[in-house]
Chain A
Amino acid sequence: MSVSTDLSARGRDAVAAPARRVRRLSSRDKVVLSIMVGIPTLIQLVLVWIPTLMSVGLSFTRWNGLELTDIKPAGVENYQFVSQDYPPFWPAVQHNVLWLVFLALIATPLGLLLAVLLDQNIRGSRIYQSIFFTPVMLSLALIGVIWQLFYNRDSGLLNFLLGTSGTPQAVDWFGDSSVNIWAALFAATWRHAGYVMILYLAGLKGVDPTLREAAQIDGANAVQTFFRVVFPAMRPVNVIIIVITVIESLRAFDIVYVINRGTNGLELISALVVQNLVGEGQVIGVGSALAVILLVISLIPITFYLSRAFGKDKEA
């Protein structure tokens, strides 16, 4: 009852508005609106932008974290230190690039493949979906335990299956610095593929079935239908997947951290940021400089994504 009257009242307002040129928002509405916009903006400002700007500022200083008067300007010394004197930095950059290439060439296509297979209305599709998506939901600690069970040198499943468990030939999956990055990448793929799969499954469901039918009537086979028709039709999802893949490879952290805190062949920029900013080994200037470097690299895909997103809004 009240709903219908409300609607009719609103309809009348809309009709009256252009004629009378009244402001549509009452002052109360304005207050409410400004609060609703203001509060999230404030939260964003306090929790994201101010710390970001402070990090940028601190990256040009030396500070022991005690008195504010102890903050000493240091110019670009922290950046010099990171690029010239800090041995883990360049391996970390390389590992981040490797991470990106691996996710882009192996993990993401794998997720797409899983999505396509599960989209075929096979029996138990839901169960497979849940299985592949579970890794995305697991906590850091649990992931550590799971991969420990697989990779442990003496009692792990993998070496047991290889038949080398307990012998000197056993591969040291976590300790050998030429192997452990691949072990970590495999674990990362295990998570990333599930994530990509869910997104593509949603994308595939959103593709108009008449497109497929039309392609089939035109004589396209399954492969052609997918790559020439369905895949391009999922363009919005593809853009999101690209951005997610890039961002995931930049913020990759948890798996290497549970293995050995990102040392000995598993250096990643994010792990170095944590090492330098949190905890006892805190060096605020250096940690901030590393964080700024990571931020600048991250801005590239974020800008790409936003320009695509807003560009599309304009088209529409």
Chain B
Amino acid sequence: MTLHEDALRRASSQGGWDRRTLLKTFGAGAVVMAGIPLLAACTGGSTPSGSAGAKTLTFGSGSSDEVPKAAYKAVTDAFEKKSGVKVTTNVVAHNDFQNKINTYLQGSPDDAFTWFAGYRMQYYAGKGLLAPIDDVWEKVGANYSAALKKASTGADGKMYLIPNYNYPWGFFFRKSLWAEKGYAAPKTFDELKTLCAKMKSDGLIPIEFADKDGWPAMGTFDYLNMRLNGYQFHMDLTAHKESWDQKKVSDVFDTWKALLPFQNPNALGMTWQDSAKSLADKKSGMYLLGSFLTQQYTDKAVADDIDFFPFPEVAMEGQDSIEAPIDGLLLSKKGGQNQAAKDFLAYLGTPEGQNVYAAVDSSNIATAKGADTSKFTPLTKKLADSISGAKNISQFFDRDALPAMANNVMIPALQSFIKDGTVDVKNLEAQAKSLYAAQ
């Protein structure tokens, strides 16, 4: 063995070491990369905020679509200008925002964030994850109707939500078709059935219906339950203070059965967009859906031809209750200590703040009294009147009930009801019992 060989060997093993170092670094890198999703999951993807100073606030927004996003941007800009407070907005894709709300609220949430009224708001309020804003309501409460106030209240009687806008559910139809055939908006359930029979004999699908996605059918259930058993019963049932296994509930389905032959028989294969097209094509007489339906009609001739009537009276409370999901702002527990965040909510609770929002996003209806209605189309005005005239506002089943109840139980139950007209209320109760107990 020569010295030369030895030196070469050392050099080559040196080279080997280098390769190993490389591998090690690579391995460490892999671990770090594998760890990133875990860390992100821990923090819920939110960024820590400096809410200690009263002159800044963070705002978490699930309004990720272009128009609402721009609308909230306009609101924060206007608020910054007015108050000198610096607002940092974190926009999250709205499905993600909704799905991750649990981890979001437990991690380091923003001071203020977008959410909606109903069971889910009351649930997080009950868990102490939200800050009550009674002091803000003292300032802006006069801007809201009694029904909106009720919808913004937690189970403990404190206020939690500042409503921004809402959109009603009801029957939409084409004016020109109705004028041509001489139909009139029904006031009672019997009139509705008579009208349906007439439409059917005229070769139309009386009530357009789509339930491939599972949720649209909940609107029919909500209205029938409210009209048959009253608003309070509907709220108690969705919060599972009432049992599903009782005559009142099976009555709802029995009543619905009378409408089923008039609803589009192909509903289970259709999305609401398909149904919207069918209504526009005058293949069907009317369509029970939220007013977001009108966003589907980009052709102005069709859009101007759409009219609305509220769900007819069935057994009690007339047409007092309306289904009109409310979107607005909440304060996280931490945000409750930040006066600037409270001021921000108060600002959105004024006609001034809501006008700024509505100027950009005009597809919804501002909730504050005195908000600008001069740009409303006749239809929007009608929709707004139907809400302001209502004594009770429900939020749609998936907001009023436990989300698991809505998604995992009601969707399959309603789809099988649409298919064969039967529903097992005993089983609904068994599932509800188990799911609500897990909360």
Binding site for B on A (CB under 8 A): 1-2, 5-6, 9, 28, 32, 35-36, 39, 42-43, 46-47, 62-67, 77, 81, 84-88, 153-154, 172-177, 260-261, 263-264, 275-276, 278-286
Stretch at the interface among B53-61, B243-251, B267-275, B373-381: B267-275
Stretch at the interface among B12-20, B155-163, B179-187, B254-262: B12-20
Q: Which residues of B contact A39 (CB under 8 A)?
A: 27-28, 30-31
A-B contact pairs, 23 of them (CB 8 A): A2-B12, A6-B12, A28-B17, A35-B27, A46-B34, A62-B437, A66-B102, A67-B106, A81-B434, A153-B266, A172-B266, A172-B268, A175-B269, A263-B214, A264-B214, A264-B412, A275-B408, A276-B408, A278-B99, A280-B98, A280-B407, A281-B404, A281-B407
Q: Which residues of B contact A275 (CB under 8 A)?
A: 407-408
Q: Which residue of B lies closest to A12 (CB)?
A: B1
Please tell me if the beta carbons of B12 and A5 are within 8 angstroms of each other in the complex.
yes
Please tell me if the beta carbons of B268 and A175 are within 8 angstroms of each other in the complex.
yes
**CA gap between A149 and B433 in the complex, in Å:** 41
Please tell me if the beta carbons of B434 and A260 are within 8 angstroms of each other in the complex.
no
Please tell me if the beta carbons of B269 and A32 are within 8 angstroms of each other in the complex.
no
Please tell me if the beta carbons of A174 and B407 are within 8 angstroms of each other in the complex.
no
User: Which among B34, B427, B437 is the interface contact of A87 at CB below 8 angstroms?
Assistant: B427
Specify which of A6, A28, A67 lies most central, judged by the most chain B CB atoms within 10 Å of its CB: A6
User: Which among B15, B38, B106, B430 is the interface contact of A2 at CB below 8 angstroms?
Assistant: B15
User: Which among A66, A88, A174 is the interface contact of B106 at CB below 8 angstroms?
Assistant: A66
Please tell me if the beta carbons of B269 and A173 are within 8 angstroms of each other in the complex.
yes
Q: With contacts A86-B431, A280-B98 known, is A32 near B23, CB below 8 A?
A: yes
Q: Which residue of A lies closest to B96 (CB)?
A: A279
How does the 8 Å CB contact mask read for B261-300 relative to A, with 1 for contact and 0 for none? 0000011111000100000000000000000000000000
Please tell me if the beta carbons of B404 and A283 are within 8 angstroms of each other in the complex.
yes
User: Which among A36, A47, A65 is the interface contact of B27 at CB below 8 angstroms?
Assistant: A36
Q: State whether the Cβ of B133 lies closer than 8 Å to any Cβ in chain A.
A: no
Please tell me if the beta carbons of B404 and A282 are within 8 angstroms of each other in the complex.
yes
**CA gap between A173 and B268 in the complex, in Å:** 10
Stretch at the interface among B3-11, B136-144, B167-175, B225-233: B3-11
Please tell me if the beta carbons of B434 and A66 are within 8 angstroms of each other in the complex.
no
Please tell me if the beta carbons of A175 and B267 are within 8 angstroms of each other in the complex.
yes
Q: With contacts A47-B34, A62-B438 known, is A6 near B406, CB below 8 A?
A: no
Q: Which residues of B contact A177 (CB under 8 A)?
A: 268, 419
**CA gap between A153 and B275 in the complex, in Å:** 13
Please tell me if the beta carbons of B406 and A281 are within 8 angstroms of each other in the complex.
yes
Output the least CB separation between A22 and chain B (Å): 16
**CA gap between A63 and B102 in the complex, in Å:** 12
Q: Which residue of B lies closest to A275 (CB)?
A: B408
Q: Which residue of B lies closest to A88 (CB)?
A: B412
**CA gap between A286 and B409 in the complex, in Å:** 13
Please tell me if the beta carbons of A263 and B434 are within 8 angstroms of each other in the complex.
no
Q: State whether the Cβ of B193 lies closer than 8 Å to any Cβ in chain A.
A: no
Q: Which residues of B contact A28 (CB under 8 A)?
A: 17, 20
Q: With contacts A42-B31, A175-B266, A281-B406 known, is A36 near B12, CB below 8 A?
A: no
**CA gap between A65 and B41 in the complex, in Å:** 13
Contacts A5-B9, A176-B269, A276-B408 supplied; 6 other A-B pairs, CB < 8 Å = A6-B12, A28-B17, A42-B31, A172-B266, A260-B214, A284-B438
Q: With contacts A35-B24, A42-B31, A175-B212 known, is A64 near B12, CB below 8 A?
A: no
* Number of cross-chain contacts by CB at 8 Å: 130
Output the least CB separation between B87 and chain A (Å): 28
Q: State whether the Cβ of B321 lies closer than 8 Å to any Cβ in chain A.
A: no
Please tell me if the beta carbons of A153 and B34 are within 8 angstroms of each other in the complex.
no
Q: State whether the Cβ of B127 lies closer than 8 Å to any Cβ in chain A.
A: yes
**CA gap between A213 and B438 in the complex, in Å:** 68
Q: State whether the Cβ of B213 lies closer than 8 Å to any Cβ in chain A.
A: yes
User: Which among A6, A66, A261, A284 is the interface contact of B9 at CB below 8 angstroms?
Assistant: A6
Q: Which residues of A contact B435 (CB under 8 A)?
A: 283, 286
Please tell me if the beta carbons of A63 and B403 are within 8 angstroms of each other in the complex.
no
**CA gap between A194 and B102 in the complex, in Å:** 41
Output the least CB separation between B273 and chain A (Å): 12
Please tell me if the beta carbons of B427 and A85 are within 8 angstroms of each other in the complex.
yes
Output the least CB separation between A209 and chain B (Å): 40
User: Which among B102, B129, B214 is the interface contact of A261 at CB below 8 angstroms?
Assistant: B214
Q: With contacts A153-B266, A283-B408 known, is A85 near B430, CB below 8 A?
A: yes
Q: Which residues of A contact B12 (CB under 8 A)?
A: 2, 5-6, 9
Q: With contacts A85-B430, A87-B412, A88-B412 known, is A285 near B438, CB below 8 A?
A: yes
User: Which among A43, A66, A278 is the interface contact of B31 at CB below 8 angstroms?
Assistant: A43
Q: Which residues of A contact B99 (CB under 8 A)?
A: 278-280
Q: State whether the Cβ of B411 lies closer than 8 Å to any Cβ in chain A.
A: yes
Output the least CB separation between A13 and chain B (Å): 10
Q: Which residues of A contact B103 (CB under 8 A)?
A: 65
Q: Which residue of A lies closest to B426 (CB)?
A: A85
Q: Which residues of A contact B38 (CB under 8 A)?
A: 46
**CA gap between A306 and B129 in the complex, in Å:** 48
**CA gap between A276 and B404 in the complex, in Å:** 8
Please tell me if the beta carbons of A9 and B9 are within 8 angstroms of each other in the complex.
yes
Please tell me if the beta carbons of A85 and B24 are within 8 angstroms of each other in the complex.
no
Q: Which residues of A contact B437 (CB under 8 A)?
A: 62
**CA gap between A6 and B11 in the complex, in Å:** 10
Q: Which residues of B contact A173 (CB under 8 A)?
A: 269
Q: With contacts A2-B11, A36-B23, A176-B269 known, is A281 near B408, CB below 8 A?
A: yes
**CA gap between A45 and B30 in the complex, in Å:** 14
Q: Which residue of B lies closest to A3 (CB)?
A: B12
Q: State whether the Cβ of B439 lies closer than 8 Å to any Cβ in chain A.
A: yes
Q: State whether the Cβ of B153 lies closer than 8 Å to any Cβ in chain A.
A: no
Output the least CB separation between A287 and chain B (Å): 9
Q: With contacts A32-B20, A62-B437, A64-B438 known, is A281 near B5, CB below 8 A?
A: no
Output the least CB separation between B19 and chain A (Å): 10
- 10 interchain residue pairs of minimum CB distance: A175-B269, A281-B407, A175-B268, A280-B403, A172-B269, A62-B438, A39-B27, A85-B430, A279-B99, A281-B404
Q: Which residues of B contact A87 (CB under 8 A)?
A: 412-413, 416, 424, 427
Output the least CB separation between A108 and chain B (Å): 30
Please tell me if the beta carbons of A174 and B269 are within 8 angstroms of each other in the complex.
yes
Q: Which residues of B contact A176 (CB under 8 A)?
A: 268-269
**CA gap between A175 and B344 in the complex, in Å:** 46
